[in-house]
Amino acid sequence: MTWRGEAIGAEHLAFVCNGCGDCCRKHRVALTHRDLERLARSLGAAPASLVEWLPPDQVDLEAVSASMVLLPPGPRLMVLAHAGGACTLLDTDHRCRAYAARPLDCRLYPFVLERAADRRVTRLSLFDPAGCGELRSGATDRDELTQTDEARWARLSEYQALVLRWNRLARHRMRLRHRAHGEPEFMAFLALAGAPGATCEQ
């Protein structure tokens, strides 16, 4: 068990999604390489077709600075693509076309777990308390939620280490006045070019 007693906000475990799809319209989901690999494999799609690149003025830099990728136009954040005001994975019935392979941020939404120095969960809150869920008893297993949160942070740390390497190489190329590498090269750097047939990791 990785919760400290009855963590503050444990009552939020009763939150249950009502399937309206509003979160897929109003939020932009930052991706890791593992999220994108899993989605591309599940959908049989080219990784580049699933993403957009947001500039700094469209993101919370304090939260995502370590995930900003240096590309020719400048720093960009890799997120799930939107079209017509919604995630491109949202179908006409307000359901995700890749639900089983969805990003870990989507799996955690709307839960936010706060942890102490010993990594035990001390507080649970909802990302959007005025959101569209409904309450039912015993909706979410806290151990499963904790494992998903731990996996999310582990994958994010792994991705940010890759972004750091890429950005160092990009700055080195700039100093040497070499051609800047763009999105296709970044996908290849992440070994995602052949993602639909690649070994998938959560």
Q: Where are the beta strands (DSSP E) in the chain?
A: 3-8, 15-16, 51-54, 69-71, 74-80, 82-83, 86-87, 111-115, 121-126, 134-135
40 has which bridge partners?
A: none
* Helix, strand, coil fractions of the chain, as percent rounded to 5: 45, 20, 35
Q: What letters, b where the CB count within 10 A reaches 16 and e where it falls short, cover 79-88?
A: bbebeeeebb
Residue pLDDT, tens place only, 97-128 = 999 999 999 999 989 999 888 888 899 998 87
The residue assigned the tokens 């017509």 is 84
- Between CA 133 and CA 128 the distance in angstroms is 10
pLDDT band of residue 200 (cuts 50, 70, 90) is very low
Given a cut of 90, whether residue 24 has pLDDT beyond it is yes
Q: How many CB atoms lie within 10 A of CB 118?
A: 8
As a whole number, the mean pLDDT across the chain is 87
Q: How many CB atoms lie within 10 A of CB 59?
A: 19
Residue pLDDT, tens place only, 157-177 = 999 999 999 999 999 999 999
Q: Average pLDDT of 141-147?
A: 89
Sign of CA dihedral 66, 67, 69, 73: negative
Q: Which of 87-96, 117-126, 129-138 has the highest mean pLDDT?
A: 87-96
